[in-house]
Amino acid sequence: MLFTDTINMCAEVAGMLWQRGWAERNGGNLVVNITEDVDENIRRLPPLTTPTVLDTKLENISGMYFYCKGSGCRMRDLARKPMDNGCIIRIGADGSSYEIIACKPIQPTSELPSHLAIHNHLAANRPEMKASLHTHPTELVALSHVENLCNTEQMNKTLWAMIPETRLFCPKGVGFLPYAEPGSIELAAGTLKLIEQHDAVLWEKHGVIAVGSDMMDAFDTVDILNKAAQIRCAIPSVIA
């Protein structure tokens, strides 16, 4: 796939997130590994910024290219103008920094630590998985307020019981991560541990992050999990 097709798919998903009500204001973010698809013209681009040092050395993705939603940008704007609301970054040769190379010096998403930690894991262990998606799906977040569901086992038991598709399409389920500050290294570290064994990670009282072969695949995972959560929320006892 051309990297431009990959970015257009991100724009399509961004529009769907906004339509679903899962991307209020600048809520949510997405990152996709475009390394295999970037052409020589992109590879030759000089950096637009000085390198930004990463908190953790990510050797598995050194030299790789990613399209990232921009920090503070809105999904509904990215849907129409992906290169005005996102950027392409290149990870440094030793995996300890990144630089923005296109098209404008737009800072990548505030959740970059979580996304890049995930991509560093995927590049070494599941290279066919190229996309990571964070969004604020209403009913999944609602269930993360219900105390007895706030652990991985109970959350999956509940979601899988709602509709058979959930277990079929999300066989590894969702990992539950207790509240951590948005954008923090703690959030990234906790997410990395859980994504190694699950299809997605639910961030308590915040949102979800999922991986996929492409952005639409990651979206489908969130959509299926949230459908189960919606059904659970429609059963009155969850409120009681």
- For ligand 2HA, the binding residues (CB under 6 A) are 26-29, 109-111, 182
CA-closest candidate to residue 91, choices 121, 58, 115:
58
Tell me how far, at minimum, the Cβ of 113 lies from ligand 2HA, in Å.
11
Residue nearest to ligand 2HA (CB): 182
Name the residue nearer to Zn ion (CB basis): 102 or 192: 192
Residue 139 a catalytic site member? no
- Cα separation of 6 and 62, whole Å? 20
Name the residue nearer to Zn ion (CB basis): 17 or 123: 17
Q: How far is CA 184 from CA 31, 141, 143, in A?
A: 17, 19, 23
Name the residue nearer to ligand 2HA (CB basis): 111 or 214: 111
Residue 65 tokens, joined: 């290219």
Task: Say which entry of ligand 2HA, Zn ion, none residue 110 contacts (CB below 5 to 8 A, set by partner kind).
Answer: ligand 2HA
Give strand ranges (E) for 172-206: 174-177, 200-203
Which is catalytic among the residues 36, 111, 128, 186? 111
> Taking CB under 5 A as the rule, does residue 175 contact Zn ion?
no
Asked whether the beta carbons of 141 and 207 are under 8 A apart, the reply is: yes
Task: Say which entry of Zn ion, ligand 2HA, none residue 109 contacts (CB below 5 to 8 A, set by partner kind).
Answer: ligand 2HA
- Cα separation of 33 and 116, whole Å? 10
Find where tokens 């698809």 sit: 37
- From the list 33-41, 100-108, 139-147, 202-210, the region that binds Zn ion by CB under 5 A is 202-210
> Taking CB under 5 A as the rule, does residue 113 contact Zn ion?
no
> Taking CB under 5 A as the rule, does residue 207 contact Zn ion?
yes
Beta pairing partners, 91: 98
Q: In what order do the strands lie in the sheet with 86-91?
A: 52-53, 97-102, 86-91, 65-69, 29-33, 131-135, 207-212, 200-203, 174-177
Task: Say which entry of Zn ion, ligand 2HA, none residue 4 contacts (CB below 5 to 8 A, set by partner kind).
Answer: none
Name the residue nearer to ligand 2HA (CB basis): 78 or 233: 78
Residues near Zn ion (CB under 5 A): 207
Active-site residue set? 111
